[in-house]
Each structure stands twice: as C-alpha cells, then as structure tokens.
Amino acid sequence: MSLKLLKHAIYSIKPLPPVKICYLIKHGEHQIAFNERKQLRAASIIKLFILAAAYYEEERGNVDLSKQVTIPASAMTGGSGIVAYLSDKQTYTYQQLLELMIIVSDNTATNALIDFIGLGSIQTFIEKIHCENTKLERKLMDEKAIKLGLENVTTCYDVMLLLDLFTEDNSVLPKQRRQQILAVLENQQFNSKLTAFSSYDSTIRTFHKTGELTGAEHDAAIFQTADKLLKAVVLTEGWANNGEGQQFHQAAGAHIYHYLKG
C-alpha cells in the first residue's frame, strides 16, 4: 500500500459532520494530511508537551526529576490515572510522575508536574519549538478554569513537530533525552486506538499517547519496523458517542498496520 492509497483508505472511513477529523501522517519525506492545522481541544495529548518540557528543563539544570514529592490528599485529581485512587500517603520522584502521566495518563501526576516545572515554562518551551497553535492554559480537570474559558489546545501539525523532535537529531533534545522519552512512550498501556492492531505484532514497535474528553478522541503515535518509521497524529472531535470515535481510530490504525506490513 502506498501513502496515496493509505489516504484514500482513511478518507473512505471518514465520518459525517459534525465530527471533525484531523490527521497528519509522515513516512520519511512524504506525508498525507487533512485539517492538520485545525485547532482542537488537546485533552491528554498535551501531556506529550509536558513530557518534553520536563526533560528539556532538566537538561538545562532548571529541575531535578529525581527529586521526591509527597502528594497531599488536597491535590488528588479525578479522571484517568491511579494516584488518586491509591490508599495512604504517596511519595514519588518526578520521573515516576512523568511515567505515570504517560503510561496510564495520570491527571494527578500531570498537575503535580505542571506545578513543578511551571505552566509558564512549559508554554515557553512550546513556543520555542514553534508550536504556534498549542496552548497550555490550565491544569487537568480544573473546572473553575474551564468555566473561565481557559482551554488546552493543539493541532496535528504541532504534535507532529514534537514527534519529529523525539525521532530526529535536533538541538533541543539530545539523543539521551530522546531515548528516555521513547522508552516511556513505548510503555503506554492504552492501546485501543491507532495501535490496536500493531501493539500485538512483535515486528512493530509503537510509541504513543492517547487523549480523550467527552466527544473527543485523539492518538499520536510513532510506529517502527525493521525498515520503516511512520508517525501519525489523529485528532477527532464532535462524537455523540466516544465509542464510535475509538472505532474510527481502530479502523484508521488497521489501515496504517497494513501499510506497514505491505
């Protein structure tokens, strides 16, 4: 299957409005895209930017991710994750919180990291890597901020810029940091979207992060085979039922899987 055929295959499963579909898929110097610069609610995809910012700030000597923190009951956050649902006092390193933020999309860990790194510092990093349409304006599950109109947003184009930083030589994240990031992403526990097929094939390595809110289903993934490196960002919003959104991602992921195996 060629990238052109992959584009036709994904277009064939495109849902009708009001669902918004945005994607950007890259293989080497070639890519296919649809609405790749359309800004949508980021959901947990914003955690990828926090992950990168954390390693960038540690590389510069501004933070120490080996530092320990005890998370008080008052800081527990609902939604995805496990920290808020464990008993007794909990102490973690910030490195462990990074891992929890990605592999089980932990919101409490995420908010602790935003406090530690600084929301302003994370946004400055986002701007440094030229992600002009990505904004971190609030913590996760912050109802007061949401009512004030503050929202975390991004685009497929911006997320792809970040995936490029994870996989290509650059002056922002040295090789050791890129390896750390990929090691965390490879331990992702949520594989019901783009990686639903490939995560069970030992010939394909996957490194990715999902995101979801009511009506929104996202996934940003790196697929690696013996001879291919493919990056895919698929952001969707407007689903009446999130289950349908996950089914769309699975169908798109199946087409990507067949492309990789072709």
Q: What is the CATH number of the domain that holds 239?
A: 3.40.710.10
Q: Note whether residue 13 is domain-resident.
A: yes
Q: Note whether residue 110 is domain-resident.
A: no
What's the pLDDT at 90?
87
Q: At what angle do helices 46-59 and 175-186 cross, to 10 degrees?
A: 150
- How many domains does the chain divide into? 1
β-pairing, 216-224 vs 229-237, is: antiparallel
Q: Note whether residue 19 is domain-resident.
A: yes
What's the pLDDT at 88?
82
Q: Note whether residue 250 is domain-resident.
A: yes
What's the pLDDT at 164?
98
Domain that holds residue 243: 3-59+130-261
Q: Note whether residue 25 is domain-resident.
A: yes
What's the pLDDT at 76?
93
Q: Note whether residue 115 is domain-resident.
A: no
Going by the DSSP 8-state scheme, the letter that residue 16 receives in this structure is: P
Q: Note whether residue 223 is domain-resident.
A: yes
Per-residue pLDDT 10s for the chain (262 aa) are 789 999 999 999 999 999 999 999 999 999 999 999 999 999 999 999 999 999 999 999 999 999 999 999 999 998 999 999 998 878 999 999 999 999 999 999 999 999 999 999 999 999 999 999 999 999 999 999 999 999 999 999 999 999 999 999 999 999 999 999 999 999 999 999 999 999 999 999 999 999 999 999 999 999 999 999 999 999 999 999 999 999 999 999 999 999 999 8
What's the pLDDT at 179?
98
What's the pLDDT at 262?
86
What's the pLDDT at 87?
86
Q: Note whether residue 102 is domain-resident.
A: no
The span from the CA of 109 to the CA of 74, in Å, is 13
The span from the CA of 160 to the CA of 231, in Å, is 8
Amino acid at 246: Q
Neighbours of 189 (CB within 10 A): 9
